[in-house]
Chains A and B, each alone.
Chain A
Amino acid sequence: MFYREAGDFKTSYEDDSQTFPIKFDRLRYYAVLAVAFGIIPFIINDYWANAVFVPLMIYTIAAIGLNILTGYCGQVSLGTGGFMAVGAYASYKLMTSFPDVSILIHILLAGAVTAVVGVLFGLPSLRIKGFYLAVATLAAQFFLVWLFNKVPWFYNYSASGQITAPERTVLSIPVTGANTDAWAKYMVVLLFVTGCAWLARNLTRGSLGRSWMAIRDMDIAAEIIGVNPLKAKLSAFAISSFFIGVSGALFFSVYLGAAEVGEAFGIQKSFLILFMVIIGGLGSIFGSFAGAAFMVLMPVLMKNIFVGALGWPTDLAAHLEFMVIGGLIIVFLILEPHGLAQLWRIAKEKLRLWPFPH
């Protein structure tokens, strides 16, 4: 009815190749942005920021990063937690070494540092693939966590090995530290998530993204038609690690404020983000949002239903939560192996035909 190409005339190449070719989609996208930037910051409180929006958006950035590597370029990685730790520790060292430079720049620099580390650990991908590569990235995960535990320089020789984000401001509004208002926290992360999603979306539909997908689909054939595997694989590792590094930096400085490498960036974090990508849908930016939403919001929702609304004991609720979420993951993977993004795609196809499906 209202969701279709008919009547939406494109008169230039730019129009024809835009991200949202359907008018309704485009309007919806602007509406979401308007709500996110124009309405939510005015009504958000501490609980909504710290328990829902901020972690959701930070995990989304990490999921986009991993999606570039795994979903678009086909390189399986289990080192996400370790790369997030690189971002977190890089931002911590930068924040404490150069207190006068803006935190926003530090977060981007932390992403750049992570990109370098990512390329370093991506080198084996030129020789090994599949499960073997997964094991190599697993080594990165354990090595990085060990490194940040072992070398006191990384945590500025603090007695407990904890890193704590000092207060930093943007336009003299605190965005890290305890005196940060919910909306400031939210806005910083929102800026980064919007920027990252926009960048990732445009990278993946350009020539770089096409070369990644060619490598993913069949690397030998891609090489024969002229895709340079070295460039494609290492750029995927670099860009993916950049996003993951940014998310790690935000995770530590804006969201948690203090972190401990083994607990915050352990192997379970790598798996969590891999699950987000798989549940959300490999090779889809929307899938990264959906997957992060599923893995972050479901536990909070379950907890609120079981403990808040039904008043069950907390341990029973926690165990049930594991079971329900585990069950849902299996159900999703059986019914829709391509993830939530595929459900969304099917819904859109159906919408195009609605209300006359034949």
Chain B
Amino acid sequence: MKFRLTKLAVLAFLTAAPAMASELVFPSLSYRTGPYAAGGIPYADGYADYFTLLNERDGGIGGVKTKIIECETGYNTEKGVECYEATKGEGALVYNPLSTGITYQLIPKVTADGIPLYTPGYGRTSAANGKVFSNVFNFPANYWNAASLAVNHLLDINGDDLQGKKVALLYHNSAYGKEPIRTLEELAKKHGFDLTLLPVDHPGQEQKSQWLQIRRERPDYVLMWGWGVMNQVAIQEAANIRFPMENFIGVWWSGGEPDVLPAGDAANGYKAVTFQGVGSEYPVFEDVQEYVVDKGLAAGAGDNIGTALYNRGFYAAMLMAESARNAQDIAGNVEITPANMRDGMEALTITEVRMTELGMPNFGPAFSVTCENHGGPGTGAIQQWDASAQTWSLISDFGPSDMEIIQPLIDADSNAYAAENNIELRCN
């Protein structure tokens, strides 16, 4: 018992009073270790580098420096909770945990604490309904958009007819992987294709039986909701059974360079959905080179710039920085609180002109967030891997998803949540 108390005393000393400075604090609950690090590292690097760029080039946002507090979660919900509690006292403006499991934990907590939660392309899809989820934002697109975008692509290549086609969904057996099932079931009904569900358990290294089933049932297309090491294994397994790569489509979290590189040339033609631009051909990356990389300030090893997941983290950071700027305008004060930040996010408008000013023309969709709609436009494109050039390239335009199917699902799920938790609808 004494032993424990001594340790607690040391701990108390080390966790004592965080310094309050006039900085805009953006905690980054990242994971650079464990089976999901392959995706976590580039995303965290991109998120951090954008804020470093703002500090170095513009002196922060509205003259106030930004500060990233990184906390390692290992994609583990318990550590995620610890990170949240450890950082929220330091003036955290917005959380972006890059984990659907941690998002589910944090949704009630952030709402109680009045801090916004930003989950671009992941998390709880029905959080797009701002009437129920006041503090959660998942613009510009969510899982159900991704499912619909993938099916739209299948419709495109099949002349708008999927009658009798067999589609298999290979998914991470967790909240994350289960999210698209409901939408895909609705879409299967609408378009008349057969849907087979193939769960893969955490961490996803063991997929022999799933691919055996794919070999036996010969689905026409395989969709994948995978993350971390599961993606690499799936693409390798697909190559092993010579499944045609152009019929294999991943969600945006299964579309990074680390996922396709291990399979080498065999991964050529693999497709993935994306909601933001690919490559490093944007003017802003010259600034990143000049102000961040050349000064030796790049996050991590600095070797991920321009990769798919780096760009997504970078894009998320850009949207958060714009929201913070917006919040400063609304509050009339450069030092904003999490509540101001929330208002800034809810009133965010991203235009093509603004993105061009930021050196990111066509990097993502132009959209505005409203009180009702926290989910953005839900547009996206399909990217395809070229194994010889080792690049992703867009093979379609940024198109809309089937909101006729998705919106009723969002309303039903969020209203069920509101009823369970006695939440009064906002925005009336």
Chain A residues at the B interface, C-beta cutoff of 8 Å = 28, 32, 46-47, 50-52, 55, 149, 159-162, 164, 166-167, 177-179, 255-260, 262-264, 266, 286, 289-290, 293, 297, 300-301, 303-305, 307-309, 313-315, 317-319, 322, 340, 344
Q: Decide: B199 and A308 in contact? CB cutoff 8 A.
A: no
Chain B residues lying within 8 Å of A258, measured Cβ to Cβ, are: 77, 104-105, 108
- Closest chain B CB from A53 CB (angstroms): 9
Chain B residues at the A interface, C-beta cutoff of 8 Å = 1, 3-4, 7-8, 10-11, 14-15, 30, 32-33, 37, 41, 70-72, 74, 76-78, 81-82, 85-86, 88-89, 100-101, 104-105, 108-109, 111-112, 124, 173-176, 178-179, 181-182, 199, 201-202, 300, 413, 420-421
A47 to B182, CA, bound (A): 37
Excluding A161-B175, A166-B421, A293-B7, 16 further A-B contacts by CB distance (< 8 Å) are: A51-B81, A51-B86, A55-B78, A159-B181, A159-B413, A160-B175, A160-B176, A256-B77, A256-B81, A258-B77, A260-B77, A264-B78, A289-B4, A301-B11, A305-B14, A322-B33
Chain B residues lying within 8 Å of A159, measured Cβ to Cβ, are: 178-179, 181-182, 413
Chain B residues lying within 8 Å of A305, measured Cβ to Cβ, are: 14
Chain B residues lying within 8 Å of A344, measured Cβ to Cβ, are: 3
Chain A residues lying within 8 Å of B100, measured Cβ to Cβ, are: 160
Q: Decide: B11 and A52 in contact? CB cutoff 8 A.
A: yes
Which single residue of chain A is at the shortest CB-CB distance from B28?
A: A314
A-B contact pairs, 9 of them (CB 8 A): A46-B89, A159-B178, A159-B413, A167-B421, A256-B78, A264-B78, A301-B7, A301-B10, A308-B14
A314 to B108, CA, bound (A): 27
Q: Decide: A264 and B178 in contact? CB cutoff 8 A.
A: no
A47 to B88, CA, bound (A): 9
Q: Given contacts A166-B421, A256-B78, A258-B105, are A161 and B174 in contact (CB under 8 A)?
A: yes
A309 to B18, CA, bound (A): 11
Contact of A160 among B32, B179, B201 (CB under 8 A): B179
Q: Decide: A262 and B174 in contact? CB cutoff 8 A.
A: yes
Complex A-B, nearest 9 residue pairs according to Cβ-Cβ distance, in ascending order: A178-B108, A315-B32, A160-B175, A178-B112, A314-B72, A51-B82, A304-B14, A318-B33, A47-B85
Chain A residues lying within 8 Å of B7, measured Cβ to Cβ, are: 293, 297, 301
- Closest chain A CB from B367 CB (angstroms): 25
Which single residue of chain B is at the shortest CB-CB distance from A296?
A: B78
Q: Decide: B108 and A300 in contact? CB cutoff 8 A.
A: no
Which single residue of chain A is at the shortest CB-CB distance from B112?
A: A178
Chain B residues lying within 8 Å of A322, measured Cβ to Cβ, are: 33
Q: Decide: A47 and B179 in contact? CB cutoff 8 A.
A: no
A264 to B300, CA, bound (A): 29
Chain B residues lying within 8 Å of A161, measured Cβ to Cβ, are: 174-175, 178
Q: Given contacts A178-B112, A318-B74, are A47 and B202 in contact (CB under 8 A)?
A: no
Chain B residues lying within 8 Å of A297, measured Cβ to Cβ, are: 4, 7-8, 11
Q: Decide: B77 and A263 in contact? CB cutoff 8 A.
A: yes
Q: Decide: A166 and B11 in contact? CB cutoff 8 A.
A: no
Chain A residues lying within 8 Å of B112, measured Cβ to Cβ, are: 178-179
Q: Decide: A314 and B71 in contact? CB cutoff 8 A.
A: yes
- Closest chain B CB from A296 CB (angstroms): 9
Chain A residues lying within 8 Å of B85, measured Cβ to Cβ, are: 46-47, 50-51
Chain B residues lying within 8 Å of A286, measured Cβ to Cβ, are: 1
- Closest chain B CB from A351 CB (angstroms): 11
Which single residue of chain A is at the shortest CB-CB distance from B1?
A: A32
Q: Decide: B109 and A304 in contact? CB cutoff 8 A.
A: no
- Closest chain A CB from B75 CB (angstroms): 8
Which single residue of chain B is at the shortest CB-CB distance from A35?
A: B5
Q: Decide: B174 and A315 in contact? CB cutoff 8 A.
A: no
A256 to B108, CA, bound (A): 11
Which single residue of chain A is at the shortest CB-CB distance from B172?
A: A262
Which single residue of chain B is at the shortest CB-CB distance from A269?
A: B78
- Closest chain B CB from A173 CB (angstroms): 15
- Closest chain A CB from B150 CB (angstroms): 18
- Closest chain A CB from B1 CB (angstroms): 6
